[in-house]
Structure 1
Amino acid sequence: MTVPNTGAPDNGADDRQSYTTIGSYGMAIARTLEAAGIDSSRIFRAIGIEGELSNDPMNRLPAATMTRLYRACVDVTNNPYFGLQVARHIHVSNLHALGYALAASTTLMDFCVRLERYMRLVSQVADVVLEEEGDEVRLRFKHLVAVSGETEDCFFAFLVMTMRQLYRPGFNPVRVDFRRALPLEGAGPYETLFRAPVSFSNTEGVLVFDREDLRKILPGSCPELAQVNDNISISYLAKLDKNDVVTGVIQKIIEFLPDGECGRDKVAAALCMSPTTLQARLAQRGSNFQQLLDDTRKDMACSYLRQGGRSVTEVTFLLGFADTSNFTRAFKRWTGVSPTEFRQQP
């Protein structure tokens, strides 16, 4: 389901303490240090990270802390490519529900769409914008706060290596544009890992892919598992930013749809506000309740219909429609085809 990417917290200040990353990212950094024979707990304590990190997405590390941590790691390992090494120690589980949803995506295009929608669960330091032009698909990373070059190295490398695991080992991006400066030691490790042209000191970080590659069905595709984790991602996003009214509304729509009672008044009451206040706050975000309801139903309908075990009748009632004819009319309005025709598409 569509969750508008609203960026980092709206606090009116460019304060890196307000922009956070999931704490389990630190676990991958610790594993990388240990693999190099370095006591990770000593490094973490030195920069002020105390206690155990976990995969709980509510366990967060501020962007400023991540920058200090990476600086310490590069110094202690004397490795300017430390971020690329960390990417090899990240598991999809470190991204919590988003990681599992990415792994169950039907295509790499679905993978990219999920990353755009739910990136804030993993990190609030950048917005992800998915663009299509001609034969190319671009993942553009718009930084909301200054981050270390190692952060960019790690995430780009992790994404490409994960795509190779899901699709095929020979998969490569068309090109990779880094926002960070080129390390003095040169671009060799980047060219080896990405197997594509790389450039540095750009205004934004961009991963560019061939459209045809991103349209291929993935061997591990599991729409049902992906959707379950999409829903979990939305619920945690609502917890992370309680002031994000759009995400809060979508979460309640998903919760109430199967009961068939998912009106604006009920959702407003669940969010502890009046219907008028809800309408006004959504309008401030350029949205409205009916549009969010339609978009959520459409995305969930497409996901359900990709799951071969669900009948059209079952999907109808899961989405809160009174009968299949109403659902079919709505689905044709959304997609231009009937639910049955949609299922028959490759």
Structure 2
Amino acid sequence: MTVPLITASMAKLFADMALSRGYDPAPILEKSGIDPALIGEADAYIPIQAWYDFAEAVSSLLDDPYTGFSIGYSPENNRLPNLKAVERESAALGEVFTALIVDTRRILTGNAYQLTLDESFATVKSRRNFCPTSPPRQIDGFFVGFMMRMFREHVTGHWRRWDLTVTVCDPNAIPEEERQRSVFQKGDPIGATFQFPAEWLLMRSGKNSSNAEVGQNRLDTDFMNGLRGVIQSQLNDPGISIETVAKQLALSPRQLQTQLFKLGSNYTQELKNLRRAAACQLLTDGNISVAAVGEAVGIPDPTAFSRAFKSWTSVSPRRYQQEKCSKANS
């Protein structure tokens, strides 16, 4: 029997999440049967089951049941070579789904995706042609997160709770606030299904600005600036958590998550971006050691910091520092 495979770059999404929280993903990758050296190679493949196991292990390590959903919802996924189909900002939702389904055949085996239509509803269905050894909660969560972001970008202003029905192996892998906005049903480990009004397929992303939207944009900007300021003030704390940050913003963690989801981001992504920016800025100064930079951005373990920085920039922190100093002296 042929072993179902997927591009190794998909494991990098979960490895980067672990790195952003200060954990070295290498031991978990190896325990899941994945060579850590492969995850950065676009043309390398790994067994799909190993990817499932790794995703569950990362979720357990982070003690975050919504890890897969958060990664899938992140707009950074647009940069992945195997998801370039969703970068077309002016495309209709139906074009995005069609392109994604076609491209999926190139990046993995063992799964089939279908887009079907009847008079009133469209259905996007993913089905595995093998039975996972355990429920793929985080991978299904990743797929739901990605799909929910696509719906949000195209169907804003046209969405009622009963319009979208999602069937997934474990609805508890989806944040409660998301489950309250749509109808979620418990399914099986063989795949997820999304049913929605057929006219959504014709909707395009992007909206004309109005005065109300401009005002909302200003509020959103103020919120993000405030959030980033709070995180920035404690960036050197390895234990900085969404609970701590939310409390300082007079919000509950759930309220903060909800607001970030609406703005196309999440707490982990914001923390990673700020750590990356601060690390790059500090490394530009050749008088500070790499170890000191890691401590300053909340990743005191030198090995973990080196792995995290390389995942952010594709070069090691020492090489980045050397290149910046060389340019400054030339």
Alignment CA distance shift 1:171-1:49 (3 Å): farther
Query: Using the alignment, how far apart are the partners of 1:158 and 1:118 within structure 2?
Result: 15
Check if 1:70 corresponds to 2:55.
Answer: yes
1:100 aligned to 75, 84, 93, which one?
A: 84
Amino acid of the structure 1 residue aligned with 2:169: R
CA deviation string 1:203-243 (max 9, x = no partner)? 752112222222124449xxxxxxxxxxxxxxxxxxxxxxx
Q: Return the offset for 1:65.
A: 0.8
Alpha-carbon distance in structure 2 between the residues aligned to 1:170 and 1:23 = 37
Q: Confirm or deny that 1:21 pairs with 2:6.
A: yes
Instruction: Tell me how far 1:128 sits from its aligned partner.
Output: 0.7
How many residue pairs are counted as aligned between the two chains?
198
User: Residues of 1 paired with 2:22 and 2:116: CA distance?
Assistant: 42
Pairing of 1:46-85 with structure 2 (within 5 A): 46-50=31-35, 51-54=37-40, 56=42, 58-85=43-70
TM-score normalized by the length of structure 2 = 0.52
Partner of 2:201: 214
Kindly state the Cα deviation for residue 188 of structure 1 after the two structures are TM-superposed: 6.7
Give me the whole-angstrom Cα distance separating, in 2, the residues matched to 1:123 and 1:59.
11
CA distance in 1, matches of 2:59, 2:47: 19
The superposition leaves residues 69-110 of structure 1 with CA deviations (integer Å, 9 ceiling, x where unpaired) of 12321321222222112224451222x2x5222322631111
For 1:177 and 1:123, how far apart are their aligned partners in 2? Answer: 23
1:188, 1:181 → 2: CA distance? 8
Amino acid at match of 2:85: A
Q: Which residue identity is paired with 2:187?
A: S
Report the secondary structure of 2:114's partner residue.
strand
TM-score (structure 1 length as normaliser): 0.50
Q: Say if 1:177 and 1:204, in contact at 8 Å, map to a contact too.
A: no
2:111 to 119, 122, 126: 126
Query: What is the aligned partner in structure 2 of residue 32 from structure 1?
Result: 17
- How far apart, in 1, do the equivalents of 2:26 and 2:142 lie? 20
> In the alignment, which residue of structure 1 is the partner of 2:167?
178
Distance apart, 1:114 and its partner CA: 1.7
Is 1:27–1:54's contact at 8 Å kept on the other side of the alignment?
A: yes
- The letter for the 2-side match of 1:92 is N
Cα deviation, 1:106-143, whole Å, max 9, x if unaligned, reads 31111122223232223323211111112211101121
Q: RMSD of the TM alignment (CA)?
A: 2.8
Structure 2 gaps, min length 5: 208-330
Q: Deviation digits for residues 16-67 of structure 1, max 9, x if unmatched?
A: xx211222111111121123332223322333322142362x2112112112
Distance 2:97 2:202 in 1: 11
Given that 1:115 and 1:128 are in contact with CA atoms closer than 8 Å, whether structure 2 keeps it comes out as no
Residue 165 of structure 2 contacts residue 183 of structure 2 at CA under 8 Å; is this kept in 1?
yes
Structure 1 counterpart of 2:178, one-letter code: T
**What residue identity is the alignment partner of 1:155?**
F
Gaps of 5+ in 1: 1-12, 221-346
Cα pair 2:167 2:186 within 8 Å, conserved = yes
| Structure 1 residues 75 and 219: CA distance shift in structure 2, 3 A | closer
Partner residue in 2 for 1:86: 71
Partner of residue 149 from structure 2, selected from 161, 168, 173: 161
Amino acid at match of 2:147: L
Q: Following the alignment from structure 2 to structure 1, what is the Cα–Cα distance between the partners of residues 140 and 202?
A: 25
Shift of 1:182: 4.2
Shift of 1:199: 0.6
CA distance 1:33–1:171, shift in 2 (3 Å)? farther
CA distance in 1, matches of 2:49, 2:69: 20
Give the secondary structure class of the aligned counterpart of 2:194. Answer: strand
